[in-house]
A and B are shown apart, each in its own frame.
Chain A
Amino acid sequence: MFDFSIVSSWIHNLLTGVMPEFWAIFLECLAIGIGILLFYAVLAIILIYMERKVCGFFQCRIGPDRVGKFGIFQLFADVIKMLIKEIISLKNSDKFLYALAPFIVIIASILAFSTIQINKGMEIIDFNVGIVFYMAATSLGVLGILLAGWSSNSKFTMISAMRSGAQIISYELSVGLSLLTVVVFTGTLQFSEIIQSQADGWLIFKGHIPVWIAFIIYLIAGNAETNRGPFDLPEAESELTAGYHTEYSGMHFGFFYLSEYLNLFIVAAIAATVFLGGWMPLHISGLDGFNAIMDYIPGFIWFFGKAFFVVFLLMWIRWTFPRLRIDQLLKLEWKILVPIGLFNLALMILVVVFKLHF
């Protein structure tokens, strides 16, 4: 299997050969930063294009097709349009918090983004408390949304921010419970070890019924956490203009748009990592020849295949179901998902402690 840590250690040795260690690490960090930015931008472009095409497909339309072949330059035109719009500052807003909100949203998104494992040895942050760090980073994002809505001093953004706050913090509970269920099974909080433990079969195959329930809960709650799909009432355009970013213009608005799509990818990538094995190829214990053939396919192809499969699932959900009301939304979380999540956790503990799994 292709291991990226060979490449990174080769680069490290090459650099330390010609310069002191400090500058070598500095240059590597610079390269990592540029890598994050490039990857972030490219993924955003792919995801937005995919969303438009998938949405068109579900509504029996073609989607963007005028700018360039198959409309692939539509996104670049959008980016340029966003950059050449004037950034407006409001008269009666809280100026400091108004400017701070996009920073928090992007920081939360990039921190969560850097926990993703793309290939064997190709990760940026791999803490031994990775899952807790991931949850901490994603829950920072709601702060930015609340600040954006509150500081613009407009009634619609205020309503939207409050709805969004209630929604995101509520569904975070379900995300936590479903990830906790997986942690009980794998016995580690580190993403690389969770992937390593799926070498003899992805968790969705060997994890029994509790993991299936956790996967479904995670998909629902993850969808709600990104303010998408049937849970998009913070930016219900027919009621609240554009939600918490109504008063933002140009690139300021662009940050919220960017982070929304990247959060979609992050949720999908974590689902792929935790439940579907991340970069781990499909292994069936007993069939050694089959496993050897699967190992020839590089890990990042497996990872992106799984992640984009989950992204497609989430888009499918988004364009299929009608929007929920706020009382239905909170009822779904607190009266259905949380009790099921707690019950599921208890079930998982029984399975693990009494060794009922294979």
Chain B
Amino acid sequence: MNFVLLITALLTALLLVVAALGIAKLISPSSTNPQKGEVYECGIPTRGKSWMQFKVGYYLFAILFLIFDVETVFLFPWAAVVRDLGVEAVFSVLFFFLVLVGGLAYAWKKGALEWK
């Protein structure tokens, strides 16, 4: 039943976008003008393409995020049962947790968290 509802929500989202765009297409005016297809940016004609090399700092943070997010996802199933597993389980997860903290400390020390 849950998956039926999930698909219902998905289809609703699709319907919202398609219906609103359809209504807008029906009632909005349309005219052709060669200037209209230009990129707006800040109003003056643009120079060159925008698909170019970009600052690498953003990718560095994306990679850091990937590592940490995957590790927190591993912690979720354990977090749901930590109360029942007791003290021994905490010590075995502690090593995993220390790796997480150690990774952050290493990235910090190497200067990966600085914005250059």
Contact = CB atoms under 8 A, between A and B. Distances in A.
Interface stretch (A51-59, A63-71, A328-336): A328-336
B92 interface: no
B65 to A, nearest CB: 4
Contacts of B75: 180
Given A29-B5, A89-B37, A326 B115 contact: yes
**Interface SS of chain A:** helix
A70 B100 CA distance: 53
Contacts of A338: 68, 104
B40 A154 contact: yes
Instruction: Choose among B9, B10, B108 the residue with the greatest number of A CB atoms under 10 Å from its CB.
Output: B9
A82 B111 CA distance: 46
Interface string B32-49: 000011111110001001
Nearest to B65: A169
Interface stretch (A102-110, A291-299, A314-322): A102-110
A158 B16 CA distance: 27
A34 B69 CA distance: 35
Nearest to A115: B9
Interface residues of B, number: 65
Interface string A342-358: 10011001001110000
26 contacts: A29-B5, A32-B12, A33-B12, A37-B15, A84-B29, A91-B38, A110-B12, A110-B13, A110-B16, A154-B40, A155-B46, A158-B51, A165-B58, A169-B65, A172-B69, A176-B69, A176-B72, A184-B79, A187-B83, A250-B28, A251-B24, A330-B115, A331-B115, A334-B108, A349-B82, A353-B90
Interface of A: 25, 29, 32-33, 36-37, 40, 82-93, 102-103, 106-107, 109-111, 113-114, 124-127, 131-132, 150, 152-158, 162-163, 165-166, 169-170, 172-173, 176-177, 180, 183-184, 187-189, 241, 246-247, 250-252, 254-255, 326-327, 330-331, 334-335, 338-339, 342, 345-346, 349, 352-354
Sorted from nearest, which 4 A-B pairs have the closest CB atoms? A91-B37, A327-B115, A251-B24, A110-B13
